[in-house]
Each structure stands twice: as C-alpha cells, then as structure tokens.
Amino acid sequence: MNQSTQYYYPIIDGVEYRQIKDWIDMREAASGELLAYLADSGKVEIDLAVDSAEKAFETWSKTSVEERSRLMFKLADMIEKNAEELSILEAKDTGRYITEMRNDFIFAVEQIRYFASVGLAFEDFGNTLNGGYMIGKRVPYGVVGQIIPWNDPSVMLIYKIAPALITGNTVVIKPDHNACLAVMEIVKMANTIFPKGVINIVPGTGEKAGSALTSNKKITKLAFTGSVPVGKLVGNAGISNIVSSILELGGKSPNIVFPDIENMDAVVEDATSAVLNCNGQSCLAGTRLFIHEDIYDQFIEKLINKFESLKIGDPLNEDTELSGMISNKQANRVMDMIALGKKEGAKLLTGGNRATIQGFSNGNFIEPTIFEVKNSMTIAQEEIFGPVLCVLKWSDYNQMVSDANDTKYGLASGMYTSNLENAMKLADDLQAGCVWINKYFNIAGGFPFGGFKESGIGRELCLDTLKEYTQLKGVSIVGKTI
C-alpha cells in the first residue's frame, strides 16, 4: 500500500483514470490537515466505468464461482496484511478512533471470507415436470451501481462488493467524498487481483457522480447506504429505469433495559457503546434507551458517570474512547439538535457542549450527551448522528413497546434482561430488522442486516443477500415435443 499517494483518481478498467480537472481537498477530520486530493468525478467518468464493467461482465459472469471465491480470499488476505495502515488512514479520514477502526477491518475481512465461502454453496433449485425437469437458475444482474456513505467506509464497501462479486456481477462504486481514502486503497489492491473492469470506483459528490450513476441506463441493479431522502432519490431513479435497489437507510433504534438485569455495570457499558460507536454516527446506534422505573435512578447515575469518564481526544491515541465528528458541518448539525432538545423541554443530564481538545483546535469534538426525553420530541424521533443519547423511563410493558415502535424507522433494536420470556416476547413485538438481546451490535457473518419501515429495503450480510444480487431464470426441459 502506498500511502504517500496524494491524488486519488477513479479506477476504471483496472487503471487510474488520470484526465481529472476538478479535485476535492481531503482533510484529516480531527486536525483539518490536508491528507490528499480526491477526484471530483462526474458523468464522463461514471459512463466510462459503467462501460468497462459491462464489458468485464461478459467474462466475469461466466467465470466459475470457485475462481471468483479464490480471488476474494486473496483480497481478504491482502486487506488483512495491510489492516494496520488502512486503519490509520481511515481513522485520519473519518476522525474515528484507532481501536474501533482496527475492529472494523477485522470485520470487513471476515465478511469477504463469509461471502467467498457461502457463494460456493449457493444453489439453484430444481423439480420434476411431467416428462422432464424444471430449474430455477440464479443469474447475476450485470453492472451494479453501489453508493456508500462516509461513516463506516471500508466496511460499507465490503458489504456491497463481496456478495455482488461472488454472484458474478461487476461493480461501479461511488464512495462518499467526505471520507473514502481507505476505500480507494482497497479498490486499488483489488485491481491487482481481479480482472480489469470487474471493480471500478468513481469518487465524487452525490449530486454529480452519484446521480450520474443512478441514472445510467446500463446499470441493472442499485445498492445504496445513506440517508432516507437520498435513498428515495436512488430508489426512484432506479424505478424510472425498471431497476431494483437495495436501500440501507437511517435508524432511531430503541434499546430496552428490564428491571431484572443481573449486572448493571455491564449493561451500562454496553448501552454506552451502543450509542457511541462511530462517535454516534451510526445508523444502527441504540439512541433511545428505555430504562425501567424500578432501576431508573441507579442506572442513570452509573450512565452519567460512564459518559463523563470517557476519554475524548486524538483518534490515533490508543487510549481514546470517543473522538470527533466527521466535519464541522456535521458537528453544527448535532449542536443544532442539542439546542432543539433544550428548546423542546428535554432535560439535559450531561454533556451538551463542544469539547476542546488540546492540539486539535480545528477538530469537531462534542461531549457525550444524555437527554431525558418524551418519545414524541424531535430529538427522540429524528436521527442526530452524533454522541447524543435519549433516555426514557418505562413501567408499563405495552406502553413501552408502543413507544419503542413509534418511529418512522425500524433498523435495529436491543434489550437487556435475564428473563427468557421477556426476551422472546419483546423480540417478537419490536418492529425492527434486527434485535440484539443482551449485547448490542452483535453482528457476525450471516446475520440478516437491513431495515423495516423507512430504514430500507433488502438485507445485507446474510445468505439472502445472494438472492438480492441475482435474478431467477426459470428453465424447463421435456424429452420431446408433442
């Protein structure tokens, strides 16, 4: 991996496309220092990348799944070998702290190996006909356009490309211009392994490069992770070309604490990381914590102590437990939501200010913040995408379930209980794509990941994802024409 590279070009047909006129400054999120220049690509580059992917599809779709799997394992090994450098680059780019970034790359590598493995066992189906047979044959779509966000760039890249590639599709990726340098490095590595044109990447803004990708008529499937408004644009752009989309959108996930928990300190710890992972900039974050009234006061006291003891600071410091927002714009948005919370009458229990970190005067750090809220308040309903937790006291089970489900989102949910009956009942009652019992963010390969309601369409990370990236062709055969 060559980290001294200062210019990141689109990678089209296996090579850097160098005819770029416009550039975007890529800055370290925490210090504001210039990291690199990123191509500000548009329709010309997108169209070339789609053409290259379309050409590569002819061969790639006929390449055996064993060979596709072999190349994916090679990519996993290469990322693993370079994981430390990639973690540092992504920590600088996103402002997320280094220990969390290292875990991201372990997870990303696991996901490639998961899809490289299960793809081998992904079978078509067959049945008998009168005098013959029929089969449901799964075939790849063709060129998939994939758009990813800035909060978790490399993991998002792998979520997208691993299932698409093992099933025989070729890809054009549009990463987010706020943070994507490790993604650009991974795609460079991938192009030393995969045939040219199979994995193309065209960086740039959503307005220019993103919309050029979604409107390109040669795209046969779209996959998007990001906000609900842009998700609707992507879905509609696809439908106007009769192309389906996988949409992974936002969340305002409930996390419920029952009074029967056995180890309150461990639950406080887990509920804290549930909301503060990615510095709070995670679609999955457990942002609404419902605490039973019998343990409320004691739990809140411990939670405030935990929040106030966290070490906020330099993303590259090994001791850091919370770092800053991706940009000043995002930090302002979070501070606006904090101000709105106060105006709405939410009770501020801790935090609520920007944090000043020595040596990082250009950083965008915010104190971890807790508000006691009513579920109807805007800060309890809208995604804040920052280190802000809303807590609610509950006593009546049915009312708690009704409040937990009373949101337009339905991505994730969690709960803590030592009572199996509570756990099974609440898991059924929650309207969310995933339910974590006694450990939030407990994801592993094969776990269905995706949202109910406005949180999205489709499932990533699991066996069903292979179906998302293939379409069924029915073929029947009889012995002779009669």
Catalytic residue numbers, as ranges: 248, 283
For ligand NAD, the closer of residues 194 and 385 by Cβ is 385
Give the three-class secondary structure for 9.
coil
- CA-based angle 367:177:8, to the nearest 5? 125
For ligand NAD, the closer of residues 176 and 270 by Cβ is 176
Give the three-class secondary structure for 338.
helix
Give the three-class secondary structure for 389.
strand
Q: Is 457 in the site for ligand NAD (CB under 6 A)?
A: no
Structural tokens at position 313: 């600071």
For ligand NAD, the closer of residues 74 and 218 by Cβ is 218
CA 41 vs CA 56, 126, 161, 204: distances in Å: 21, 45, 20, 5
Query: Which region, judged by CB under 6 A, interacts with ligand NAD, from 149-157, 317-325, 349-357, 439-447?
Result: 149-157
Q: Across the strands, what pairs with 38? A: 8, 24
Min separation Cβ 224 and ligand NAD, Å:
7
- Residue 131, sorted as left (phi over 0), alpha (psi -120 to 50) or beta, turns out to be left
Quick check: 111 and 445 in contact, CB under 8 A? Answer: yes
Cα 250 versus chain centre, distance: 10
Quick check: 422 and 403 in contact, CB under 8 A? Answer: no
Min separation Cβ 274 and ligand NAD, Å:
15
For ligand NAD, the closer of residues 214 and 417 by Cβ is 214
Widest Cα–Cα separation across the chain: 85
Q: From the list 42, 119, 149, 203, which residue makes contact with ligand NAD (rule: CB under 6 A)? A: 149
Q: Across the strands, what pairs with 88? A: none
Q: Which of 141, 278, 341 is nearest to 221 (CA)?
A: 141
Min separation Cβ 368 and ligand NAD, Å:
19
For ligand NAD, the closer of residues 69 and 245 by Cβ is 245
Query: Which region, judged by CB under 6 A, interacts with ligand NAD, from 91-99, 206-214, 400-408, 416-424?
Result: 206-214
Min separation Cβ 463 and ligand NAD, Å:
18
Per-residue binding string, ligand NAD, 233-262, x by CB under 6 A, is xx-------------xxxx-----------
Q: From the list 69, 94, 225, 375, which residue makes contact with ligand NAD (rule: CB under 6 A)? A: 225
Per-residue binding string, ligand NAD, 413-442, x by CB under 6 A, is ------------------------------
Structural tokens at position 118: 């299960």
Min separation Cβ 62 and ligand NAD, Å:
31
- Cα torsion 323, 327, 330, 334 to 10°: value is 40
Query: Which region, judged by CB under 6 A, interacts with ligand NAD, from 19-27, 34-42, 136-144, 208-216?
Result: 208-216
CA 252 vs CA 83, 96, 370, 415: distances in Å: 31, 21, 15, 14
- Per 3-state DSSP, the chain is made up of helix, strand and coil in percentages (nearest 5) of 40, 20, 40
For ligand NAD, the closer of residues 287 and 320 by Cβ is 287
* Residues 296-325, interacting with ligand NAD (CB under 6 A): none
Query: Which region, judged by CB under 6 A, interacts with ligand NAD, from 124-132, 146-154, 260-268, 302-310?
Result: 146-154
φ, ψ of residue 201 to 5 degrees: the values are -140, 135
Q: Identify the helix (H) or strand (E) that includes residue 56.
A: helix 43-60
Q: From the list 20, 29, 75, 230, which residue makes contact with ligand NAD (rule: CB under 6 A)? A: 230
Give the three-class secondary structure for 242.
coil
Min separation Cβ 390 and ligand NAD, Å:
16
Q: From the list 42, 119, 153, 206, which residue makes contact with ligand NAD (rule: CB under 6 A)? A: 206
Per-residue binding string, ligand NAD, 108-137, x by CB under 6 A, is ------------------------------
Q: Is the dihedral of CA 467, 468, 469, 474 positive or negative?
A: positive
Q: From the list 72, 271, 283, 384, which residue makes contact with ligand NAD (rule: CB under 6 A)? A: 283
Q: Across the strands, what pairs with 391? A: 289, 372
Rounded CA gap, 372 and 199, in Å?
Answer: 47
Query: Which region, judged by CB under 6 A, interacts with ligand NAD, from 24-32, 184-192, 229-237, 307-315?
Result: 229-237
Query: Which region, judged by CB under 6 A, interacts with ligand NAD, from 45-53, 68-76, 144-152, 254-262?
Result: 144-152
* Residues 371-390, interacting with ligand NAD (CB under 6 A): 383, 385
For ligand NAD, the closer of residues 234 and 303 by Cβ is 234
- Residues in binding contact with ligand NAD, number by CB under 6 A: 29
Quick check: 388 and 280 in contact, CB under 8 A? Answer: yes
Q: Which residue is nearest to ligand NAD (CB)?
A: 206
Q: Identify the helix (H) or strand (E) that includes residue 472.
A: strand 470-478
Quick check: 153 and 177 in contact, CB under 8 A? Answer: no
Q: Applying CB under 6 A, which residues contact ligand NAD?
A: 147-152, 174, 176, 205-207, 210-211, 214, 225-227, 230, 233-234, 248-251, 283, 383, 385, 411, 456
